[in-house]
Every structure is written in C-alpha cells, then in structure tokens.
Structure 1
Amino acid sequence: MVAEGWQYQPSPPTIQCFLEKALIRITKLDRKELCLVGAGRTDTGVHAQGQVAHFTTPFAYHCLDSFHSAINGLLPPDIRVREISAACPEFHARTSTKSKIYHYKIYNEAVMDPFHTNYAYHSAHKLNPHAMQEAANHFVGVHDFTSFANAVHNDRVRSPIKKISRFDVTKMDAIIQLEVEGTGFLYRQVRNMVALLIQVGREGLPPEIVPGIIAAKDRKELAKVALSAPPHGLYLMSVNYDKEILKPPVGSPPVSFGRTHQISRCKLLFY
C-alpha cells in the first residue's frame, strides 16, 4: 500500500485520510467535528517517524489504551499511532511547534543494499562527509531560504525567514546521515539543501558556495547546480514543543503507548 503524505486528499489515499476514517468510525463524529490537524505536511515518499496530530472530541475517555488499539486495528499495517495523550486546550499540533528534526539517509556504496532501496538515497559516487559538514555549517543560523524553497500552489503565505539550530553530517558505515533541526522549513527546503550538500560531497562544488546561493534569494540559482534530492531518503524524526504545553489536563487518563498483551500460561505445545 502506498499512501500520499499528510494532507486531506481522498484519492490517491493519504495518511491523514486513513487516520480520519479510523477516528470517524470509532467516535461516530464527522471530519469537521474532529478537526484533525497535523504538525506539518509531508510529501509523497517521505517517511514520518515522529509526526504529531491533534483532534477534538466531546467525549471523556477514562482509558486511552482501548482507543489506541482500536485506531491501530483500523489502520493499514504501514501506518501506526505510537502514542495518544489528552492535551490542554491551548495545544495546537502545528502552531505550538518549537522545532522539527529531519534526517536524510544516503547509502554510499557502489552496490545498493536492497533492504535500503525504499529508505535511503543511493550515491555510488564516494562522498566526502567532511566537505558536506563544512557546507552544512553555512546553513546554521537565521536566513532567508527563498533559494531553497519550491513554489507552493495555495493561498498560504509563509515567511522565508527560518532558523536552523544545527545541521550534522554523520557517517555510519555505508550510511551518511544528515540531521537538521530548525524552527520550521519551507516546501522541499530540506531536500533542496541536501541536494546541494550531495554535490559538495562529490567535490564538484566547494562548501563556500552555500552562502552565495542563500544570499541570492532565488530558486533558479540553486537549480543551476543541483536538483532536489528524492523523497524516500527523508524522515520527519520529531516535532518538539515546550514541556509545559505538553502537560495533560488534571484528571486526564494516563498516556497510552500501546497495550501490551501477556500470556500467563501456555496452553499450546510447540514442536
């Protein structure tokens, strides 16, 4: 099963639609009453290990474990809710966000490991992680990232000024992992930054090219030297919030991390 990213789009199916259908079936509410909101949209092919969403319900739940099991029982096997918690009225999955962390994985060997095919970008050309780190350092700070944003066809206007607090390049055997944390990211910004770092890693471009492309504030400048990196190597790892706003209201049921089933006595013999 292949689902599109986080957005409401009945066909082709999206992760948001699958989750909404499960919630509608459990709560008997319609989607306008649920008001399901995700922390951010993800493109088709991008993985989300730490996506956060919230919805509203008029019901008071005394135990979230059964609710948790019901949701996962209705979702396809490659979509899972890992945690459910009550939230304070001020919490909003998108606007309460303090930062997001993304990973991009590059498999850097001559022959691609088939077990990584759908989960890492393959670069048969040997990359220089030290040059990539030097280039990545130029992204850290507050910048206008217009040069690294693709056009979005909607009415929502977003500020191109974003803060990146860290951008780490780590080599782990055959995998080169890029980890970036920032207050927010523009449409395809991470994939476009990665694409430039890959060109630097191939030693076709110097690390010092990054400040010039940032200063240009023109997507065409990046397009002259790099194309967008493919989506399947990208992961939304976590969405971070202030601890205070994550505290559930007084009297709320315990947070559910999934129900654990135990068998006290084995009645079947295995040979």
Structure 2
Amino acid sequence: MLARNPKCSCWQYQESPPTIQCIIERALTCVTKLERKELSLVGASRTDSGVHAWGQVAHFVTPFTYDSLESLHAAVNGLLPREIRVREISPTCPEFHARFSTKSKIYHYKIYNHAIMDPFQCQYAYHSVYKLNPEVMREAALHFVGKHDFSSFANASHNDRSPNPVKEIFRFDVVEMGHMLQLEVDGTGFLFRQVRNMVALLLQIGREALPPDIIPEILAARDRRALARYALSAPPHGLCLMSINYDTELLKPPAGSPAISFGRIHTVSKCKLPFY
C-alpha cells in the first residue's frame, strides 16, 4: 500500500520525467537485485499527474521468500524521496492481482469553500470563492449512483484500450467539514478523469448555475461534448485515491508466510538511486 503527494508524476511507468512506478521500481531493483521485468510491478490504479494517492496498491513477484518483510520495507522507504512512502508490505496468494482483483475504489475530492484560502490546504483542496450549496450538490450526486454509461464524463486517453464506459457507483456523498466540502465517491472503477469531470459539474450545480436534474440528461447523451458545454475538468490537486477494496479472502497471507510489515524505525540504505 502506497502514499504519495502531487509533486510526483502519475503512476504509469515512464522514465522521463520519472513516474511513481518508475521510482518505486528503482528502489525495489536496488534492494532485491532483480530486474524490473522479473519484479513485474503492477499498480491498481493509473492516477494522472497531480492527483494524490493515500491508498494505492501494487504487487510484485520475487523468486525467493523473505523471513521478515520489515527489513525490505525499511530499505525501500529509505531509498524513496520523501513525497512517496510504502505504508504496508504484505505477502499474498498467487491469485491476487492488484488491478484485476479490485472490487471497488474510493476517491475523495476536497473543496475549500471560503473567500480566503487556507494556505495549509492549498496543495490538497480546490479553492472555490463562490458560495456552494451542499444540499443541491447532494441531490445532484445521487443521480450518479447506480450503473451508468459514463461516456459523457470521460476524457480520451491513449492508455485506454477500448474501456468499458459502464461503471457502477455505490455511493457519492458530500460531507461538510467547516469550510471544507469533501466529495466521497465509491465505485467499481472510473474512466480517465471521470471523477474530476463529475466534480466539475457538481461545482456548477453547487453554485446554482445549473439544476441537479441536468445530470441524467448529460449521462444519456453518452458524449463528452454534452458535458463540455457546461464544465471543464476540476483541477487534479483536490483529488485523492483513498482506498482500493478487494475480496478479504484474497488478502489473507498464505500459510507460513512472513508477517505483514507496517514499517519500523530504520537506518538509510547504502544503496543509492539516480533521481533526475
């Protein structure tokens, strides 16, 4: 399980500028002495640049076993930049796949709704100087719940290979926390920029520039241009991948495997990584 901030690029492997996957692979290859093809590191979600991730999940394989995962955990974190941390390392069964075993994903989008932006929130929340109406936003968000074709809320991506636009959203809550509004969405999966596009429309509805019932109309259009008439994507820095949910049976460590590592105090590894 990984945490990273938006100063780093997206997850998908890329050497220049180095992405999250690239940086973690460098650390793992250094510690395990394996090549990246042997590790076969796979991430659960390909978050785009600028988006936070508190609960990203990835898996890799090794031809050997560990008596303890704590030393591996400490060594990897000792090589990573401070913007990226591995929060947990766990052994898993051969059937587990970080991406294809996913049951649902939870994203949060934070909106700071006040005339003056809190400087301690500026990297993690979108600043809306317009007074938002949380009640109409809640009413509107309910239109997203259920199984829908979200073609109108997806940007084209060269990484997508004929993605299925039909996704199911289990809940979409608007939580008030003082001047902060936290939009929490839980679904089976999301298309490229789908969450940011849904948030952008909810912002317009929260400003009472659009009625809540415009959402079914845009969904029915199944065309990104239908949304573009009313809203652009919300900025990435307010969005955070909070957790990825799996079948609990798949998460059980195999018999005889080492204990899960949640991190410990460690010394910095002597192995150096080239960061650019």
Q: TM-score, normalised by structure 2?
A: 0.93
Match among 15, 18, 26 for residue 21 of structure 1: 26
| Corresponding residue of 2:244 | 239
Aligned-residue CA RMSD (Å): 1.0
Correspondence list, 1:176-187, <5 A: 176-187=181-192
The structure 2 residue matched to 1:50, chosen from 36, 52, 55, is 55
Count, aligned residues: 261
Find the structure with the greater CA-based Rg: 1
Amino acid at match of 1:79: I
Distance in 2, matches of 1:8 and 1:106, equals 30
The AA in structure 1 aligned to 2:219 is I
Which of 106, 111, 117 aligns to 1:112? It is 117
Give the C-alpha shift of residue 153 in structure 1. 1.3
Dislocated runs of 4+, deviation >3 Å: none
Q: Does residue 228 of structure 1 match 2:227?
A: no
Aligned twin of 1:37: 42
Deviations 1:32-61 (A, max 9, x none): 100000001011110000000000001110
Trace 1:1-271 onto structure 2 (pairs within 5 A): 2-154=7-159, 156-260=161-265
Q: CA deviation at 1:139?
A: 0.2
Residue 154 (structure 1) shift: 3.5
- 1:205-248, CA deviations, whole angstroms, 9 ceiling, x for partnerless residues? 00000000000000000000001000000000000000001111
Question: Deviation of residue 106 (structure 1)?
Answer: 0.2
**Partner in structure 2 of residue 268 of structure 1:** none
The offset of 1:156, in angstroms, is: 1.4
Q: Quick one: which amino acid aligns to residue 35 of structure 2? A: D
2:31 aligned partner, one-letter code: I
For 1:219 and 1:118, locate their aligned partners in 2 and report how far apart those are by CA, in whole Å. 28
CA distance in 1, matches of 2:262, 2:156: 38
Measured in 2, the distance between the counterparts of 1:156 and 1:230 equals 25
Q: Is there any run of 5+ residues in structure 2 with no aligned partner, and where?
A: 1-5, 267-276
Q: Percent identity?
A: 70
Scaled by the length of structure 1, what TM-score is found? 0.95
What is the identity, as a one-letter code, of the residue corresponding to 1:225?
Y
Contact 1:167 1:181 in 2 (8 A): yes
For structure 1, the residue ranges without an aligned partner over 5 or more in a row are 262-271
1:3/1:12 contact within 8 Å kept: no
3-state SS of paired residue (2:111): strand
3-state SS of the aligned residue for 1:50? strand
The amino acid that maps onto 1:73 is G
